[in-house]
Amino acid sequence: MDALVYPSFVKGEVNAPPSKSYTIRAIAAAMLAAGKSTIINPSSCDDALAMLNIAHSFRAEIKFNNQNLEIQGGLKSNPEIIYCNESALTARLMIAIAALSENKITITGSGTLLKRHLGNVNDPLEANGVKFTSNNGFLPVSVQGRLKPGYYLVDGSESSQFISGLLMALPLLNNDSQLIVNNLKSAPYLKMTLEVLRAFNVNIETKGTDFYLISGNQAYCPQNFIIEGDWSGAAFPIIAALLNGEIDITGLLPHSLQADKKLNTILEDIGIKTVCANNKLYLKKSEIPAFVADCTHTPDLVPALVILASQSAGKCRITGASRLFYKESNRALALKLEMSKLGIEIIINGNEIIIYPGKIQPGEVSSHNDHRIAMAMMIAGLIAEGPLLVKDVGCISKSYPQFIDSMQKCGARIETILSD
């Protein structure tokens, strides 16, 4: 599916999509809990559905009830193959969780996930009794446990997702473990994992963000868990409003542990006023000064911030660019290439992206089959000098399937075209 986007002033209300990150973690916790859990306001994106299908493969009983999700969990059986579709979070969580079984389990996926390096996940597993094989660091991966309680040393420079998997799995072992993390780059996501664990009655002692003392012999207790709105997805209508609109966003918690809540701080730091009241974030067209933003811990914000920077008063810098090399696409290079087609110069200098502002030219761009690139390009189309064709936007279903519909309801002229 392609999208033909016309310059548009957007005005209205957008309900933030449910958080994909919280939904996946909550489904995993409910799968591990013996009893019925209810997940309220779950995401229906492709990545969340991948985790739900995995729970089903572990014989969890799943039922939708008034758009809520009821899961009767307890790890009743172990599948031979775990299929993660294109969800890297799901794959990395399940590598650790699958190692709870003595049986050999293969974790695989499809599309862009097969091209994403898993990072150094094998060393801490093999050091603690798990047989591990991979496709030279890529999926498919096979693990055969059972994990042993003990000392786990993990590198967190590429991703914290596997660390989240260990935090979910290690409390179920029959003795205590210590988890040491070096070079952590996504600390907020571990805080999110710990919040979900506490909700399901699993407690982990922390010392900073690099040391975790994990008591064994714990058990997940079934719970009702409410999924909050997703700051990552909401970043795109937020930027659309600031550039050419007036939008109220509902469902975002101002004190959320989500890493991408930092967007609000970034905007405030550069002098853009946002108003949060009555569970709504109020935004309107604003002058955008030149800015510097550190996205080391929030790489998913970069595509939206690049569009914002393109309409600023001067050269902008975004640091943390190295985190973009291992996403659904090489996002740094994808943004540089596609924005150059629109007349915007971007320079990648090591860990930094430099954006020179200008007028967005009409034309045609590619999503690189990356959901965040697709949404960023569609926002660019709303402020372009003429129509912009964005190729292959069906990938938005990975995180925010309602995005086009939400923007259309606010007046965005976006026509969807079935691809050949």
User: Which ranges in 220-286 belong to alpha helices (H)?
Assistant: 231-244, 262-269
Please, which residues have CB within 8 angstroms of residue 72's CB and are 6 or more apart in sequence?
A: 35, 36, 60, 61, 62
CA dist., res. 300 & res. 20, Å (int) = 13
Residue 154's nearest CA partner among 95, 220, 76, 66 is 95
CA dist., res. 146 & res. 80, Å (int) = 15
List Cα–Cα distances, 33 to 39, 55, 346, 369, 410, in angstroms: 13, 11, 48, 35, 41
Which residue type does 20 have?
A: K
Rg of the chain in Å (alpha carbons): 21
> Which tokens hold the place of 145?
């446990």
DSSP structure string for 91-131: HHHHHHHHTTSSSEEEEE--GGGGGS---S-HHHHHTTT-E
Angle (CA) 31 35 37, round 5°: 65
What residues are annotated to the active site?
Answer: 300
> Which tokens hold the place of 334?
């994808």
